[in-house]
């Protein structure tokens, strides 16, 4: 068993502390971006971190504000705030280029982070990446509820706590939609998508691939893969995708 990096904190503006685990290593630093209401202790993040440790690779795992071990309230978070949390930690903790690995909403954040610092992001791996889900993931009735009540509370099969979506989060998502225009990124991108995913339509991976300006984009459709993509075979595909990203020239 590879020893995990210690839990540490870094305070952003206002004194709110962001939790992270930074594995020291060589080569490109892998940065894992969790999904909505998830954290850095999820199975995919841990498996990738153990692989990175065995390879002597540097890796940063983190919790957005209001998530996991970080300070703050989840209900105060927005897509823009969480993007800026990631940018802050990369700026303060990482030297050199990074590879972003984003799960579900983390895949949306990976694209937004890469657009903010394209000179530092040399590869992206999306796991059921879900850009623009505020646009396609809510019914008209849910959008009405958001505007009338300010939030939606829903049961979820992915945890003990219900999903909470606030109007502020939904509005921040609508302000950062990506798929209606070319996505001006040129780095290699790998997209892993289950075709049995009940949350993210598998065709979205093809839409992302088509929108990206990069010519080095590959989408792997896993016929029996669900939204989690956390089975041993799925983890192996994730590690292979990260390991085989081309080194920048």
Residues with catalytic function: 104, 197, 227
* Percentages of the chain per state (helix, strand, coil), in multiples of 5: 35, 25, 40
Distance between CA atoms of 90 and 215, rounded to whole angstroms? 26
Which DSSP string corresponds to 137-184?
SS-HHHHHHHHHHSEEEE--TT-SSPEEEEHHHHHHHHTT--TTS-B-
Q: Provide the pairing of β-strand 98-103 with 121-127.
A: parallel
Cβ(242)–Cβ(101) below 8 Å: yes
Query: What distance separates the 2 farthest-apart alpha carbons in the chain?
Result: 52
Distance between CA atoms of 182 and 159, rounded to whole angstroms? 35
């Amino acid at each position: 068993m590879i020893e995990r990096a210690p839990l540490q904190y870094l305070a952003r503006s206002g004194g709110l502390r962001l939790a992270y685990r930074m594995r020291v290593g060589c080569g490109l630093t892998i940065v894992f971006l969790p999904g909505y209401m998830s954290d850095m202790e999820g199975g995919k993040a841990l498996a990738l971190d153990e692989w990175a440790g065995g390879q002597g690779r540097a890796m940063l795992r983190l919790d957005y504000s209001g998530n996991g071990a970080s300070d703050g309230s989840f209900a105060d978070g927005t897509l823009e705030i969480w993007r800026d949390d990631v940018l802050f930690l990369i700026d303060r903790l990482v030297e050199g280029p990074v590879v972003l690995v984003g799960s579900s909403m983390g895949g949306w954040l990976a694209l937004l982070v890469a657009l903010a610092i394209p000179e530092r992001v040399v590869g992206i791996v999306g796991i059921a990446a879900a850009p623009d889900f505020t646009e396609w993931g809510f019914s008209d009735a849910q959008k009405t509820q958001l505007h009338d009540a300010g939030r939606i509370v829903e049961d979820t099969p992915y945890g003990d706590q219900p999903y909470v979506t606030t109007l502020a989060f939904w509005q921040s998502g609508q302000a950062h939609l990506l798929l209606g225009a070319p996505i001006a990124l040129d780095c290699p991108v790998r997209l892993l998508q289950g075709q049995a995913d009940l949350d993210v339509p598998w065709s979205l991976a093809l839409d992302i691939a088509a929108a990206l300006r990069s010519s080095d984009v590959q989408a792997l459709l896993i016929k029996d893969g669900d939204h989690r993509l956390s089975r041993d075979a799925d983890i192996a595909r994730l590690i292979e995708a990260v390991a085989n990203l081309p080194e920048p020239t």
